[in-house]
């Protein structure tokens, strides 16, 4: 199994790796039409045992979870299991889940851009994060000394010049309030 992670859906799961005996080993009796992520079942000869269905050749995806801080009036999103566990446990005070999340690609691929994550404390007493895809905002933010580059955190297709998303994808709008 892969490491415990948010693979889509609302709970942590461990994705079966190729050759795992849970793949295509369900009884077929009472098998739901989709797994907890909404992926159609079965994808092979039979349903997989467990909450998630292995799909051969499918790109690895994960779930970005959204939080809100009422005192700051800020939203924050993260794919990082460490961030999510700390926020959910209340170790970073003031943040609560909104109930919203979206899927992202975990690795590079054709027509996917890395999404950069930045952090700043330039707006005291608040801090802020900013996300921008490479080719659509990341490079300019890298030049701004007020923002600390935390890394490429996930991958996403870029919209077409007219703003439309590739087939099978939905837009995610970002807003920035300068602090």
DSSP element (H, E) containing 84: helix 81-88
The pTM of this model reads 0.76
Average the pLDDT over each of 28-37, 62-71, 128-137, 149-158 and give the range with the smallest value.
Answer: 28-37
Please tell me whether residue 83 adopts helix, strand or coil conformation: helix
pLDDT averaged over every residue in the chain = 88
Tell me if 51 sits within 8 A of 13, measured CB to CB: yes
Q: Mean pLDDT across the stretch 137-162? A: 94
DSSP labels, 9-60 = SSS-B-PPPTT-TTTT-S-STT--SB-TTS-BS-SSSSPPSSSS---TTPPP
| Residues 56-70 pLDDT 10s | 877 788 889 999 999
Residue 108 CA to residue 77 CA, distance in Å, equals: 20
């Amino acid at each position: 199994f892969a490491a415990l992670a948010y693979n889509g859906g609302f709970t942590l799961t461990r994705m079966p790796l190729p050759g795992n005996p849970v793949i295509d080993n369900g009884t077929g009796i009472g098998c739901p039409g989709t797994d907890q992520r909404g992926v159609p079942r079965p994808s092979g000869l039979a349903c997989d045992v467990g909450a998630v269905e292995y799909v051969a050749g499918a790109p690895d995806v994960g779930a970005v979870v959204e939080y809100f801080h009422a005192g700051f009036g800020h939203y924050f999103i993260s794919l990082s299991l460490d961030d999510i566990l700390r926020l959910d446990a209340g170790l970073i005070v003031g943040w609560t889940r909104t109930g919203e999340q979206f899927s992202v690609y975990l690795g590079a691929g054709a027509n996917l851009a890395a999404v950069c994550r930045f952090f700043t404390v330039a707006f005291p007493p608040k801090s802020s994060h900013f996300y921008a895809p490479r080719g659509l905002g990341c490079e300019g933010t890298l030049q701004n000394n007020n923002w600390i580059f935390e890394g490429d955190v996930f991958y996403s297709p870029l919209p077409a010049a007219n703003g439309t998303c590739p087939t099978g994808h939905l837009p995610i709008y970002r807003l920035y309030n300068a602090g």
